[in-house]
Amino acid sequence: MFELAGPGEISLLLFGSFAVMLVIGVPIAHALGASTLLVIYAQDIPGVFMPQTAYNATDQFPLMAVPFFVLAGYLMEFGGVSARLIDFARALIGHVAGGFACVTILACMFFSAMSGSGPATVAAIGTIMIPAMISHGYARPFAGAVASTGGTLGIMIPPSNPMIIYAVVANVSVTQMFIAGIIPGLMLGAILIVASWWVCKRRDYEGDNERASLRQILRAMRDAKWALLAPVIILGGIYGGVFTPTEAAIVAVNYAILVGALVYRRLTFALFYRAVLHAVVVGGTVTIIVGLAGAFGRILTQNEIPQMLSQQVLAISDNWFVVLMMINAALIVIGTFMETLATIVLLTPLLLPIVVSLGVDPIQFGILFVITSEIGFLTPPLGANLFVAMPIARVSLEQISRAVLFYIVVLCAMVVVLTAVPSLSTWLPTVMMR
């Protein structure tokens, strides 16, 4: 047994051991638990602290929504929903320069309103659109980069799994977080479409030869009506107070089963089983990370480490914009090697008190947390979206990483805008939750 003099030594032991374990390849959840146990032993805290705290951290009703939204997303992908969304998006904007890239982003926006997951969105849309772009002369790395970037909208446009996790950890409303993501999500989708059009225009990438007629657009809308109705039911029910976000996830699963099995008749038992396996893996992973990170965070708060960190940050600057930009930069760097949900669970208890003391709305900070996490989906060595798109486009990590740099710059610019203009994140929740 050894004595720790104060928060400084405790934080050094806690974060130092955690960092060492990450470097040697220990999974994040195990590293969180092991570093927490080390401090528990050093401070002679009763062993029951760990299981009790982990249980309390995971005993949260909103957390049930995460695996069910993932399940709904995969059921819709396997049930033929993504193909009809792509057909509708293609009828709308497929004729513009670089139409296939623009269609990819728009289809990702549609699918994001149902899935809540970035990699799932890449898989659902990318498996169709990446080969389509390549067959029309688009460079393979660029095709993979477009789908990877469009997939990041899966966690910005509600419902969003990272938003749910942030709301639970930060003790804010999940519904408010979903509402706050609407304007930034639509803005980001529109900006990414314009950015794709600009790149394609310079590279002479073409779209469809002819503009779709009004009749063709209406036909595509009719064919996709069941897919387009899904976000209306899910989000409309949440915003209208008909059901909670967790209940909405269950509704989404049942709707996906009915549409995939009875309407489109694409969802087989084998595909249903695959979707359930994906959801179970995600749900189990989230539960383990949240539980162990809860114990990790409890150690932080008991030893007043957030307050110590706040004093050190505020000693650098007490300007809210400067502090937020410093935090944004740190989160982007951390996102290159740490998984999004783990980052949110681990760092929210540390960073939220700092920004709240400067008058920053927790809802705005949650949106900034999400968009910086989006960038992490595109930055190696983690870069989850890149690894989903790579085998589809048949390119190397180096090739797709170079191709996605332009989109990372666009996302970083959007981070600055959302930081400088808080009302983009806070105005709609204020109006709708009155």
SS3 of 39, please? helix
Alpha-carbon span 168 to 339, nearest angstrom: 17
Alpha-carbon span 368 to 375, nearest angstrom: 11
Alpha-carbon span 294 to 346, nearest angstrom: 8
Q: How many CB atoms neighbour CB 182 within 10 A?
A: 19
Domain ranges, residue 224: 60-432
Do residues 256 and 76 touch, judged by C-beta distance below 8 A?
Answer: yes
Whether 52 is covered by a domain: the verdict is no
Alpha-carbon span 332 to 379, nearest angstrom: 9
Domain count, the chain: 2
One digit per residue, the tens of pLDDT, for the chain of length 434 reads 455 556 677 878 888 888 888 888 888 788 888 888 888 888 888 878 888 888 887 887 778 888 888 888 888 888 888 888 888 888 888 888 778 899 999 999 988 887 777 788 888 888 889 998 998 889 999 999 999 999 899 888 888 888 999 998 899 999 999 999 999 999 999 999 999 999 999 888 887 777 888 898 899 999 889 988 888 888 888 888 888 888 988 998 999 999 989 998 899 999 999 989 988 888 888 788 888 878 887 887 777 777 777 778 778 888 999 999 999 998 888 888 777 888 888 889 889 989 999 999 999 999 999 999 889 889 887 788 888 899 999 999 899 999 999 999 999 999 999 999 999 999 999 998 76
Same domain for 88 and 213: yes
- Cα 258 to Cα 36, 139, 205, 264, 340: the distances in Å are 45, 38, 39, 9, 31
- Record the pTM: 0.86
Same domain for 137 and 2: no
Q: How many CB atoms neighbour CB 31 within 10 A?
A: 22
Whether 53 is covered by a domain: the verdict is no
Whether 54 is covered by a domain: the verdict is no
Same domain for 160 and 11: no
Alpha-carbon span 332 to 335, nearest angstrom: 5
Q: Residue 340 carries which side chain, given as an amino acid letter?
A: T
* Torsion of the alpha carbons at 423, 196, 221 and 237, rounded to the nearest 10: -30
Same domain for 37 and 90: no
